[in-house]
Each structure stands twice: as C-alpha cells, then as structure tokens.
Structure 1
Amino acid sequence: MVSEVSWTEVDESRSARWRAESGAPAPKRVVLADDRITADAAYRLASEGTALLWRGDFQNARQLLQAIARRIDRKPRKAAASPIEAFNFHRQAKSQRARTLGMLLVPLEADFSIPLRRALNVKEACAEAYGEGEVPSVVSLRELLGVIGSHEWRKTGVDVPALGDRIHPHYGVFSPVRGEYVGLVAEAPLPSSKLAFDIGTGTGVLAAVLAKRGVKHVIATDQDPRALACARQNIARLGLKGRVDVVEADLFPQGRAPLIVCNPPWLPARANSPIERAIYDPESRMLLGFLNGLAAHLEPGGEGWLILSDLAEHLGLRSREALLAAFDAAGLNVVGRLDTKPTHPRASDAADPLHAARAAEVTSLWRLTARNL
C-alpha cells in the first residue's frame, strides 16, 4: 500500500507519496520550513514529532540537519548497570536519534529532481534506490543523504584485500567494510574445490573469494531482490559469471555440497530497518536455520563454515554455551576454528557506549561437520 504525507500550503491541502526505506510511517504533523527557521526551533519541533517540509536552500537544509544532530548528541547518556542494558540504551538512543533526524523532509519531483535552490542532481542515485519515480514524493533528508552516499559507494566500490579487487554494494545491501571475516574465508583450508554453497550472499563477496581460491562452482543464495541484483552484478564484473551462480532461495539451494559457508547477522535482536537485517537476527532465526539444515546439505566428509562474531556474548545477548548447544542439537561437530580480532575504528573508540564489548570482540570461522559422516 502506497503511503502519503499531507500538509497545508497557501491555504490548500496538499499531499505526495511518502518514501521511507526504513519503514518509518508518514509523519502526521507537517509544517513548512525554510532558511529563516533556527536550529533550536527545528530541533524542538522535530523532537515533538512535527516534520519540517523544506522550502528553502538545499545546502542550508543539510547544515540544519547537522545542527539538529549536534543537539541530539549533546544529551547525556543513560548510565547502564550491565552490558545488555548498555546495548538496549544504545539502540533506544539510536532509534530516537533516527526518528528526530527523519523529521526534516525534502520534496522530490516525479523524475527525482529536487525543486530547491542549490539542490544536487540525485536522479541516478534515487533511481538506483527506488526504481521508477512515477509521481512526486517526499523523503527525509537523512534518508536522501544515505541514498546519495550509497550511490557513491556503488560507483567507487569497497576494496577487499582478500579478493584483490573491489566489491560494489548496492543501496540496502550490507557493505563488506569489515574485512576480517572475509580474510577468514580466504585463509581457511578448503575441504574441496569442487562445489560450495554461499548462504545469504549479500554483495557476493564470499562467493567471489571462494571462486578466486579455485572452487570450480559456487552457488550463492539470498532472498532479498537487492542483494540478488548486487551479487549478480559483482560476480559479472569480476569475470566469475561462469563459475558462480546467484539464485533466490531461503537459505539452502537444492542438493548437497562439500563446503557450505554462511555469515549470518551476528546479533540476536530485532531489526529496526531493512538494512539492519544484515546485523540483527531476531531470535537467531537465520543462524539456527543454517545450523539445523546444514547436516542434510553436506556431502559426506564436507564442512560447514559459520562466520560469527562473539559480540553478542560480550553484550549478554547469547552465551557461548548456547551456541555450542545449538551445534550439538543440529548434529554437528566442531573440527576447527579460526579467530581474528576486528580492526574497524569502533573497536578502539573509548567513547563508544559499547566499547568494552567491542574491544573484547573476536570473529571466528567455525569449521563444522555432520556427526557420524
């Protein structure tokens, strides 16, 4: 169902299509705003749930968004008594921050042009994210800036040292910026070079690494249309189209393989937006789905590689005992494990509210075999 946002302008009721890839509902209260509004007034209205439809200079709107963000970030953090409480406070604060910043809106014409002074040309970026424009619409400036940033990442790509090349993520598809987990897949001893399954391929980066390592045929699966399109484009650009097949599937494709790889979302919590589904796995559904189906899809003597961070353990969201019990319940044995420490900036950022957990984090590649095979 197409949602609309409504407002009053020149004593007339007006409306337009509401765009929100995060799934945020259209704001109920919308007022017009332009260069005359102060950052304090804009922050107060946004905090109260009143959206501001911008009619002024586009670059001034970007500056106003930054000013609102600074006011949000000045608010003191809640003191947490435990890691899981710190995690919950952190998510609440992020969610509230996103809601408040999402109250600054900009209009888009049917061709994705922005009818504001000094506006950027965002037609190509919006077409990549949204498809055909069709009708005028309204979007939060915060989301639009994310669309623009994603377009730049898609053009330039992300350098993946383990691949010796670049991966080009699409809008809404999680980027492989944390290279340590890719490095594990590049280093682990291959049980076979005949066939591999890559479950939940995303950008296709792990399927590409396996093919570059000499696996003759890789079947990469995903359910998300954006991920499927992204993986196919990356595989084609890397010249691996004849060796990697990207197929739509709920976890496993048909058949068995001597190697099955999966890098599921690492944190068992609810995702607040589509892009967060690459990070949060409610009730560990994908993790348990992979583990419980692995034995039935492994060839005799084959291995399943589970790439998983232990951040959830340090946050109190999952215990190591629960993970090992899930292996056992699925009829799996652990035959080896490769570990690495994350190198991303937040791991060493003492100001991060989850710093203690991030500093202790280890990412592992668990080598699993089916029991009695």
Structure 2
Amino acid sequence: MAERPTPDLTSPAMRAALLRGLTTRRSLMTGAFGVGASVALAACGSAPRGGTNPSASGAATPTAKAAQDMSDSEKVVNWSNWSSYIDVSEDEKSRPSLDAFTKETGIKVNYTEDYNDNDEFYAKVRPLLEAGEDTGRDVWCSTDWMVARLIRQGYVQQLDYANIPNGQANLEDSLKNVEFDPGRKFSLPWQSGFAGIAYNLDATGGKKIETMTQLLTDPSLKGKVTLLSEMRDTVGLVLCEMGKDPSNFTKADFDAAIEMIQKAKDAGQLKGFTGNDYTDGLTKGDIAACVAWTGDVVQLQFENEKVQYVLPQAGFTLWSDNFVIPAMAKHKKNAEKLIDYYYQPAVMAEVEAWVNYIPPVKGTKDELTKIDEELATNELIVPTPEVLSRAKVFRGLTAEEETSFARAFSDLTSS
C-alpha cells in the first residue's frame, strides 16, 4: 500500500482547509435536514409513496431493480460523495486512498463531489430510479433518514456481504442494527458524528454545562443559548434527557419534547436556532452554550481552549452518512469491493486523519495512533465503547410523521 502523507493539523493552512470542508458539510446537511424543506417535499409529493416505514409498520420492503452487473468486464466504479469528505494529497491534486484502491484492484474510481444536499441529490436521481433507469452512479453516501426513504421506496439494492467481508467483520457494534436498516442489509456507514452540548467557559463564568436541562432552564444562560435547526438532533437530545430513546419513541414523546423546548423559548432562554453558524458566536462568547456537532467543535478547539464539549450522560444523537448502491447500478460488485476496502482499519485511519469525523470501523484507533496520537485519543473522533453505548440514532419516520413532525418543529423555530 502506498505511503500516505501525514497532514499537519496544527498549521493555519490545514485548519482552514478542514474548516472549509466541515463548514460545507454541516451547513449543507443543515439545509438537507431543514424542516421547511421537509414539509415542502411532503406537500408536493416528494415524500415516499405508500406513506409507510417498513421497519416501523411491518410493510414489505420493495425490491430494487437490478441491472446486469458489468463489474467483471468493466473495471470501474462511479462514486458520488459530499465535498471535502475524503483524504487528499498535500498538493490537493489526488486522493491517495482511491489511488491505492485502484492499484490494488485494478478498478478505476470515478469520484464525484456532487452530493451537495440530501434532498437536492434525491431530486436529481429520483426520476431515473422511478423510471427504472441507471442513475450513472454505482454508490453514493446518504444520511440516515434519506437511507430510510430510499429503502422503503425500493431504490437501493441489498448488499452482498460475500463481497464485503471487512464490512461484516469490522462495523462498530453500535451501528449494526439501526432501526432504519435492521441488520444493515442495504447500507454501511461511511462517516459518523455526534450532536452534544458545547459551551464557552468565559461566557458561562467557568460553569460546566453538561445536561439539556441546564441548557434549557439555567437562568445564568438566559438569552445566550442556541439549539440546532436540525430537528433530529435537537429533539433527539431532549428525548434522551426525558429518558426516552430517540430510536424508539412515540408521537406523545415527540410532542412532550417540543413542549419542553417551547417552554424554554417562551421563558427567553433561547437566543435562537442555528445551523453550524453557531461557531462564531460560541468562540466569541456571544453564545454561552448550545447544541453542537462534534466535527465543528474539534476544529474550534484548535482556535479557542475555552470552548468545551460534553456528550450528555443521558444520551445523545449519532448520525451517519452511509454507502448505498442504487437500483440499476451497472457495477455493483465493484462498488461492494470499494466499500470493503474502506472497512480496513488502516485505510479508514488515513481518511480520518483528514476529515476528523467518527470512523465506523473497528480498529481504526490503533491505526490512527500511528499517524497522529492526539487525534487517536480524541473521543470526539475515536469514541470509547462507553461513549458509543450512550449514542442513539434517531429512528426512521413514516411519510406522515415526516410531514407532521417537521411542521411542528418548523412552527417552534419560526414563531
């Protein structure tokens, strides 16, 4: 395997590059998760047809259409992904792990950074999938809730683990049996992240903010708290605080969480709801405490040691962007070999040294230690089993729930 350059994560240039990537990822994901967009999609018919979540309702999952697999005769795989989401060479002209995959397998990867937003990407590929046509892509990376939609519409194919033995052996236990894809039949995570609580010690007067109850009720924080405009993370954290499981909750639980947030808003506790634009205010101290994403905070801590981060003991949300293979993909086996390649701990470590998200692959920590010991001991990048045991994946929603829950959250954030 070719030698990879080790990035200098403390250099201003590298921090700036990482921040560009993280800001793009999180701001775009916020747009994808945006409640207004969810309501609009449901209203115009873009929500899943049939209106059911198979895993929640017991309905049969449609079988995705399969094309003749040309993998043996065409040594190519077409991968669509988010921007700044893979390792790059120091001159930014190549992607070392992809080059090594091609050298090892003879399979050329057409890697395209055209996944800018979950709903935007879905709007591009849905007409082709609905018509039973090839999308021109063999694999892409969708966020959990979008994977749930694609599965229940029959738009992604079941994985053949005979071609992905590393995926079967090395997937982190906490990610194996998620509600939206029990047993990981249709998806495997590419990268993951947490939503937790960030705070600025100067702005809190040295006080640690470790629970959602503190965030929503502590009078010393009044008017200096922000929550995420991403429903699944904000509501998910409140559900955990209430002793509920975001992967298995009822409408009554959801309504109670909304009521708890509304009470804090009515009391003047909240400064507002944000995407990842909380970062500037948190660094300056204009925001004392907030719900925040791990990837952002890892980078903020390079700049300001007063910025602290807590993963609440009551639990917190874990999201993933996941490999899926679409219906009618022409190079399914090649795509599975690609997924399998990245499920080697040494390869995933090379990616993590650049992207700083959470690897879904067991054994990555040991390999990352060889690259950068500080990164390997950061629990926001390489969580311990104890940390992962408290992480919760927000369950998949039915089409009706997507509409009603998004509308309720939109009313809360906009009123």
TM-score (norm 1): 0.33
Judging by fraction of residues, say which structure has more strand: 1
Judging by fraction of residues, say which structure has more helix: 2
Which has more radius of gyration?
A: 1
TM-score (norm 2): 0.30
Work out which structure has the larger RCO, using CA pairs closer than 8 Å and 6 or more positions apart in sequence.
2
